[in-house]
Amino acid sequence: MNITLRQLQVFDAVARHLNYTRAAEELFLSQPAVSMQIKQLEENLGESLLEQMGKKIYLTEAGKEVYRYSQAIENQLNEMQMVLSDMKGLQHGKLSLTVASTANYFVPTLLGIFNQRHKGVSVDIDVTNRENLLKALAANTTDFAIMGSPPEGLGLELEAHPFMENPLVMLAAPDHPLADRKQIPLQEFTEETLIMREPGSGTRAARERFFKDRGISDFSKTMEMNSNEAIKQAVQAGLGLGVLSIHTMEVELMLKRLVVLDVEGFPIMRHWYIVHRKGKRFSAISQAFKEFVLNEAQSLLKLPSADSTKQDNIPPA
C-alpha cells in the first residue's frame, strides 16, 4: 500500500461534499486533478471508494471506511499542529536542569513562578554535587546547570551567566560567645572549630581562598560534612562555626536557631551562575527559562533576614 496524505486529503473533501467540483474549489485544484488523486488512491487500495448514480456520487462500503479513517487522521494532524503551536507559544515543552545542592534552596521558587506562566512545561531536575554537575555539562545531558562558580580548566566550552548575588556568611549558635561581637577580626577564628563542606565544594573553595588571601590557613580544629543541612545542625548543636550561603539559612534565621556573625571582611561575595555548553541549541522553552532567570531572578528572590548587625550590610539580592 502506497497511499499519500495528499490523496487522503482530496478524498476527504470529495467524501464530505460528494461533489468533485466543490472539492476542487475547496482545495484550489482543478477538477481533473481531483479525479486523478481519487483514481490513484483507489488503485493503491485496490477498492472502489466512490460510485456515481445519475448525477449523484455515493460512498461505497470501502469508501465509508476510508472516509472514517481519513477524518481520524485529519483530527490527529490538527491536534499535532495545535501542540506545536502551543510549544511555539511556550505552553508545552521539557526543561532539564542540573542544580548544585545549595542552589536547591531557591531554584524551586523560580520554577514555581516559571511554571505558573508556562503550565504545560515539564521539568527534570537533578540536585547533585559539583562533581556530578560537571559530568552532566561534559556529557551535554542537561539544558542548564545552576551553580555557585563556573568550572575552569576542564577543556569544556561553556557559557556562564551570573544572575544573582550569593553572599557567604559566618554562622554560629545564638549562645556562642562571638554572637554579640561587632567586626570580629579574622585572626580570632584560628582558635575556633570550623565546620566545612567536603573537598571540591564551591563554598569550601571560596572560604579557603578568602582566608588564604588574608594570610590565614591554619585552624585549631576542623570538622568536615558533606551537606549544608549537616553543617547547620552541627552549628546549632554548638560544635563549631560554619560558612554557608545566606540562601540556605532562611528557616534557621527566622526561628533564631542560628545567627550571622559580624565578621571583618564578610560576607564573601559570590554569584550564582546559569551555565550551559557553548553553541547549545535551545528549545523555545529552554530559551525562555534562561531569559527568565537572567532578567527576573534577582528581583524575585529575597535574601533571608536576621537580627544581626552584619546582616544589614548584605546587599539585597
Please tell me the predicted confidence (pLDDT) of residue 316. Answer: 41
pLDDT value at residue 240: 92
> In the prediction, which pLDDT does 120 show?
79
CATH class of 167-270+304-313: alpha beta
Residue 203 has pLDDT above 80, yes or no: yes
- Whether the Cβ atoms of residue 27 and residue 9 lie closer than 8 Å to each other: yes
The contacts of residue 159 (CB under 8 Å, 6+ apart) are: 275, 276, 277, 278
- What residue ranges of the chain are covered by domains with CATH 3.40.190.10? 92-163+272-300, 167-270+304-313
- pLDDT interval class at 59 (50, 70, 90): very high
Domain 5-88: give its CATH architecture. Orthogonal Bundle (1.10)
Tens digits of residue pLDDT in 244-280: 999 888 889 888 999 999 999 999 998 999 999 988 8
Residue 162, judged by CB atoms within 10 A of its CB (0-12, 13-18, 19+), counts as middle
Grid cell in block for residue 207: 572560604
**Helix residue ranges per DSSP H, 148-283:** 202-213, 228-236, 250-254
Q: Range(s) for CATH 1.10.10.10 in the chain?
A: 5-88
Arithmetic mean of pLDDT, 56-82: 87
Alpha-carbon separation of residue 212 from 149, 193, 215, 219 (angstroms): 18, 17, 5, 12
- For residue 313, pLDDT beyond 50: no
58 in Cβ contact with 86 (< 8 Å) = no
Q: Which CATH number fits domain 92-163+272-300: 3.30.70.270, 3.30.750.24, 3.40.190.10, 3.40.50.970?
A: 3.40.190.10
Q: Are 245 and 165 spatial neighbours (Cβ–Cβ below 8 Å)? A: no
Beta carbons within 8 Å of 108's beta carbon, 6+ residues apart = none
Closest to 201 in 3D by CA, of 147, 268, 160: 147
Query: Which regions of the chain does DSSP assign to beta strands (E)?
Result: 50-53, 56-59, 92-100, 120-128, 144-147, 158-172, 193-196, 221-224, 241-245, 259-260, 268-277
Closest among 263, 275, 277 to 311, alpha carbons compared: 263
Predicted confidence (pLDDT) at residue 61 exceeds the cutoff of 80: yes
Q: What is the mean pLDDT of residues 227-237?
A: 93
- CA 73 – CA 70 distance, rounded (Å): 5
Of 54-63, 163-172, 210-219, the poorest mean pLDDT is in 210-219
